[in-house]
Structure 1
Amino acid sequence: MTNLHLLAADTPDLEVIAAAVQDGIFQIGQTRFDAEGRSFTLRLSRYMHESSAPMRIESGLRFDGVLKVRSQGVAQDKAEAYAVVLNLKFEETDSPAGQINLTLAGGGVIQIEVEAIDVTLADIGEPRKTKNFPAHDG
């Protein structure tokens, strides 16, 4: 199976990355906002929805052209806590600028204010089997 390396420059591209990172798990302390470099990154254990067997792979998710990062319902003081990605969604404010909302299970959201959509997802290493797989209502 080939590792993913996806780039998003518009809303349809971002929707592809959103589908790929859904159910990804990351530690709150594994997020980094580089104000000088205008980037926000996180390392996550991505559930491989594209695999027929339950698999996970370590992945990097990078947002460029970042102006500001805020969060709601995210325990920033608990760096060891884990969060699960539900969705990524872009809300345009002043084209091409806007806000990317990284929605988390449990109601948290990380709001990433960007100059434009510029997001990269890259798998790192080899896939591994997992006994835990997502179960969605509906």
Structure 2
Amino acid sequence: MRCRHRTAEGLKRVTAKLKLSALDADDLAIISAAVQDALVAVRDCAYLKDESRFVLLLNRFRWEADPEQGTGHTRTHSALVFNEVTAVRHHDIPTAEPDRMLELLAVVLENEHSVLLRFSAGRAIRLEIGRLACHLGDVGEPWPTPWKPAHPVE
């Protein structure tokens, strides 16, 4: 095991909360990387039709944290918000099971009016949008987790 001296700057970097916005495909790719392997309960996915907004409350693995800084692997609660949403469709999302956990794998801008949220087990949510306006923000303090997500190649 290797120990490193923690500086105040290093500690800030490890515990800093993410706050990102996406207005194009390149921005969304960064958010997608940040939310890869996030867990979300079905009940924590909501289309707020009157506000033209789709919200997910995530349990996000903090890929940006350096486990060698002394904190190990961590997770945090985050909100992923899409504005200007005009319609929502889903494939194989168990809406009758609000406690079912979904694992978010990727967020992809399919075209200028469609975002696809890809989950494990072939599940998906498609958002029809007027334009891309997405925001990711951490809303809680990180907590340790012994598990780092892995995707073995078959």
TM-score range, shorter chain: over 0.9
Aligned residues: percent identity? Answer: 29
Aligned partner of 1:36 among 32, 50, 53:
50
Separation (CA, whole Å) in 2 of partners of 1:126 and 1:91 = 33
Task: Describe how 1:62-73 pairs up with structure 2 within 5 A.
Answer: 62-73=81-92
Q: Distance in 1 between matches of 2:150 and 2:21?
A: 27
- Residue 52 of structure 1 aligns with an amino acid whose one-letter code is D
Q: What's the CA shift for 1:98?
A: 1.3
Q: CA RMSD in A?
A: 0.9
Q: Which has the larger radius of gyration?
A: 2
Question: Structure 1 or 2: larger strand share?
Answer: 1
2:94 is aligned with 1:79 = no
Distance 1:137 1:117 in 2: 32
Select the residue among 45, 61, 68 that pairs with 1:47.
61
Question: Which amino acid in structure 1 is aligned with residue 33 of structure 2?
Answer: A
**Structure 2 unaligned residues grouped into runs of 5+:** 1-14, 68-72
Match of 2:7 in 1: none
Q: Unpaired segments of 5 or more residues in structure 1?
A: none
So what's the TM-score if we normalise by structure 2?
A: 0.85
Deviations 1:40-92 (A, max 9, x none): 00100000011122110000000000000110011111000000000000111
**TM-score normalised over the length of structure 1:** 0.94
2:123 is the counterpart of 1:104: no
| Greater helix fraction, Structure 1 or Structure 2 | 2
